[in-house]
Chain A
Amino acid sequence: MDLNGQILESKSQLLQTANGHDQIQDLRTKAMQVFENEGFPTIKHEEWKYTSLVPILRKNYSLTASAGKVSKEEVEKYSLKTDSYRLVFVDGGFSEEHSDLENAPFTFLTLSNALGSKEEALNLFGKIAPIEDQAFVALNTAFAHQGSFLHIPKGTRVEKPIELLYFTSKAQNEAPFFQIRNLILAEQASETQIYERHQNLGESAALSNVVTEIKVERDAIYDHYKVQNDQRDTALVDNTWVEQAENSFASVDTFSLGGRFVRNNLSFLQRGEHCESKMYGITMIGENQLVDHHTLVDHKVPNCQSNQLYKGIYTDNAKGVFNGKVYVHSEAQKTNAFQQNDNVLLDDLASLDTKPQLEIFADDVKCSHGCTIGQLDEDAMFYLKSRGIRDKEARAMLLYAFCMDALAGVKLEELKSKLKSVLAKKLGVELDFDL
């Protein structure tokens, strides 16, 4: 049976497990109805035109995975090698053992606890991410009971990065289907850095449907880094919705380097003047991999900015999709919106579909998008080779340089060097220099 069938069959059980405060029960039931009516999108849906879910959905998933265990070494391996606040989840469940929240200046609650009573969490749940025409968000809203709630109080500067690590343990031999929901409230004038990673440690396939709702209040600074470098049978649908108030800065950087199937739906809703949104990303994938970035910036108020920069490198039969939408409402005068998507295809079987889209209703704006697809410059290759640098190294250097712009915004030095070494490894070279 496909996933849709499985879900519909056990919907009442799932709804019961999800539970939560009375306040959100109506929303859960409504979301279930929306999902039942719409089902999973097919390639006839404009937003899914280039990404078929069929190979992902036809697998048999286990909807109620029991929690396994992970070792300390495994957690270390996938975390930032730095002093941080660490939140570890194993098979959806929070692992106190591996987490580290000592002296944390913010509040953390697991989703089910937060939805039981915490007013702030209840006020955030389902308020930013819409369920209509968003099958995955609807599904998550109906059933998600695992995940985290983070509350960064007014004026707090969280010095250390907060790590959100979601592991699928080796214990899973039936492909598990996880629904994770993160609710993050960054209050006025707070400053936060978040590192998020989903990692499957086992051999089996897995599918995660993650929804993150982030509310960035006025004057707050919020940085979120997503590293997607999962094993080759894992699928991830990551929906991130950010709502920004006046004078805030929010950035979500996505580094997609692995996994079988990754779909990122990243949306920024600008609701206060003078705010700035940034989304940078690097995609470097190969055999049998697909990464699909869908971004949306909704400019609803005047004097705001948005910046998008996505770099992609595709080898083997990798498939890349990019769809960036910038929507400027008629009130949003003086908007500056930039979008750039650059790609390199390295093999004949690699393919790329891109659609940088602008919808503009205000006249006094500066909006532009650019999109390029090309190969490595032969002259540059020749230059390097004529200086005794071998083909492979020369190639790696150029590709490395190609995606460096998109790393520029990363404020965490540890993450930057980690990413550089992952990139170098993927290019099959050892770079003993720092660009």
Chain B
Amino acid sequence: MAEMAEEDKVLNEVTQSEYKYGFYTNIESDRVPIGLNEDTIRRISAKKNEPEWLLTWRLEAYKRWQEMEEPDWANVDYPKPDFQAITYYAAPKQKKKLESLDDLDPEMKETFDKLGISLDEQKRLAGVAVDVVMDSVSVATTFKKKLGELGIIFCSISEAVQEHPELVKKYLGKVVPPSDNFYAALNSAVFTDGSFCYIPKGVRCPMELSTYFRINEAGTGQFERTLVIAEESSYVSYLEGCTAPMRDENQLHAAVVELIAMDDAEIKYSTVQNWYPGNKEGKGGVYNFVTKRGLCHTRSKISWTQVETGSAVTWKYPSCILKGDHSVGEFYSVAVTNNYQQADTGTKMIHIGKNTKSTIISKGICAGHSNGSYRGLVKMGKKAENARNFSQCDSLLMGNSCGSHTFPYIEIDNKTAKVEHEATTSKIGEDQIFYCNQRGIPTEEAIALIVNGYCKEVLNQLPMEFAVEAQKLLAVSLEGSVG
């Protein structure tokens, strides 16, 4: 073991020094001055060697953005970010590389262990430079080869702009137009990174696509843009984020995700979000303002599953536009807030086509001094004959310093529509805890057990390994919330 560690150390030193060298020169040339103006956007576009149409598109979005006001209708309260104090383009952040895992913040290390993340992964996530990274790149390459054989394109969006401009041009901004909202406009103007995924007709993607193993290639950006296109009769399951805590220094995250499901296609999009939530006093933490929307064509299906445990402020409504007849939209969500976190999340189901169906299951858990809101819209248009919706939003409160809010908007313009909505708010039953205690299960574990049961309907929707980690994550997030 000692030998191994020694070897690791040597390797660390070697890889690190090499990295350092290459990095420095890069950074000098790859920085765009702080602040946002047309020049910044032109420079971003030029750096990325983008075609003219994309630059025009960005500038148009920027113009729209300038005319917009930052939304304040959400049930969250935070100091507004200063958009002129942000660097909109920089090469991947030059993080201080750690010598080994022993140098890692012990608190973080503990969390890793609790989540059961493998040593290799821990190193990668913590930014410990080891050859594991090399390994993962090669893994990614093997995946890429396999996917390539099926005609699946899975790459960064910048790469897609270069390699498949016709696809990007055709679909970019079609579901979330730049003028959609304040943060979508900002994202459209300055996005620097993100993923692109294209599944050709009739192909069933053989593996869960994940931004997770792509992280090393591109680095996560502050303004991510994801575009997933599933052609006719295809299927893809896409994973975003990871369960490990991400100590990202970026304060503001304004991502846009667009999904397009053509006839008979199915997209399953799962997210686990665990950005830095700020400390126990509510200082710091990430603002997560995300616009996610999917467009369903005839007989297609889009399913959103999310487990939200991180971020200081979350503002996120993954939505489905059920345009095609017989299309299906689903939304499964667990949102946990603790300490001073605030989350305003939910979904929009817009029924346009006939016989469209949607299901909403939202489970909120609030502890500490946090505030959690469910905000949803179910809209059934004039032509949405026999549209059907079922919504269930439950909230669980722990302690009386937190708040739970439900804002379900239901707009019906069709007499054949069937809508059922139910919501409950309650706390964990004392008799349930007593029952567990009696059988030797300590209160903290009992809470985790009960919460997991409460979230089961949603966790069941996650891919296997993810679900296991998510369960542990719930327990970690709620630690210390029981007094």
Contacts and interface: CB of A to CB of B under 8 A. Distances in A.
Contacts of A361: 400, 402-404
B407 A355 contact: yes
Interface in B131-170: none
B426 A372 contact: no
Please classify the interface of chain A as helix (H, G, I), strand (E, B), loop, or mixed, using the class held by over half of its residues: strand
Given A370-B421, A374-B418, A356 B398 contact: no
Interface residues of B, number: 34
Contacts of B410: 352-355, 371, 373
B425 interface: yes
Contacts of A355: 407-410
A177 B329 CA distance: 48
Contacts of B415: 345-348, 350, 375
A358 B401 CA distance: 16
User: Which of B405, B409, B413, B425 has most A Cβ within 10 Å?
Assistant: B425
B377 to A, nearest CB: 10
Interface string A338-376: 000001011110111111111111111111111111110
Nearest to A367: B425
Contacts of A46: 73
B419 A374 contact: yes
A330 interface: yes
A375 B427 contact: no
B317 to A, nearest CB: 15
Given A350-B415, A351-B413, A352-B412, A360 B403 contact: yes
Nearest to A49: B409
A143 B263 CA distance: 61
A295 interface: no
A372 to B, nearest CB: 5
A345 B425 contact: no
A333 interface: yes
B404 to A, nearest CB: 5
A355 B346 CA distance: 14
A262 to B, nearest CB: 19
Given A351-B413, A352-B412, A375-B416, A369 B423 contact: yes
A360 B395 CA distance: 10
B404 A372 contact: no
B400 A330 contact: yes
Nearest to A331: B400
Given A358-B404, A360-B403, A348 B382 contact: yes
Interface in A317-336: 330, 333
Contacts of A343: 412
Contacts of A372: 419-421
Contacts of A360: 395, 397, 403-405, 425
B463 interface: no
A362 B402 CA distance: 7
Contact of B419 (A358, A363, A371): A371
A371 to B, nearest CB: 4
B406 to A, nearest CB: 4
A357 B406 contact: yes
Interface string B366-401: 000000000000000010000000000001011111
A346 B415 CA distance: 6
B335 interface: no
Contacts of A350: 415
B419 A356 contact: no
B418 A373 contact: yes
B418 A353 contact: no
Nearest to A347: B415
A362 B412 contact: no
Contact of A345 (B409, B414, B421): B414
Contacts of A373: 410, 412, 417-419
B84 interface: no
B411 A353 contact: yes
Contacts of A345: 412, 414-415, 417
B424 interface: yes
A7 B27 CA distance: 66
Contacts of B421: 356, 369-372
Interface in A105-123: none
Contacts of B411: 50, 351-353
Contacts of A370: 420-423
Nearest to A348: B415
Contacts of B399: 363
Given A358-B425, A369-B406, A369-B422, A363 B400 contact: yes
Interface string B98-142: 000000000000000000000000000000000000000000000
A42 to B, nearest CB: 15
Nearest to B73: A46
A352 B259 CA distance: 29
A202 to B, nearest CB: 34
Interface string B186-207: 0000000000000000000000
Nearest to A357: B407
A367 B402 CA distance: 15
Contacts of B397: 360, 362-363, 365
Contacts of B420: 370-372, 374
Contacts of B422: 368-371
Nearest to A345: B415
Contacts of A50: 411
A330 B411 CA distance: 31
B408 A351 contact: no
Nearest to A322: B410
Contacts of B418: 373-375
A330 B402 CA distance: 8
B414 A363 contact: no
A343 to B, nearest CB: 8
A353 B417 contact: no
A368 B425 contact: yes
Contacts of B382: 348
A58 B73 CA distance: 29
A353 B409 CA distance: 7
Interface string B255-293: 000000000000000000000000000000000000000
Residue among A348, A350, A373 having the largest count of chain B Cβ atoms under 10 Å: A373
A360 B401 CA distance: 10
Interface in A356-401: 356-375
Contacts of A330: 400-401, 403
B395 to A, nearest CB: 7
Contacts of B401: 330
B412 A356 contact: no
26 contacts: A330-B401, A330-B403, A345-B414, A346-B415, A348-B414, A348-B415, A355-B407, A357-B405, A357-B406, A357-B408, A358-B423, A360-B397, A361-B403, A361-B404, A363-B397, A363-B427, A366-B426, A369-B406, A369-B423, A370-B420, A371-B420, A373-B410, A373-B412, A374-B419, A375-B415, A375-B416
Given A330-B401, A363-B399, A365-B427, 10 more contacts: A348-B414, A351-B411, A351-B413, A352-B410, A353-B409, A354-B412, A356-B423, A358-B425, A365-B397, A368-B423
Question: Which 9 A-B residue pairs are closest in the complex by CB-CB distance?
Answer: A363-B397, A345-B415, A373-B419, A371-B421, A358-B406, A363-B427, A368-B424, A361-B403, A367-B425
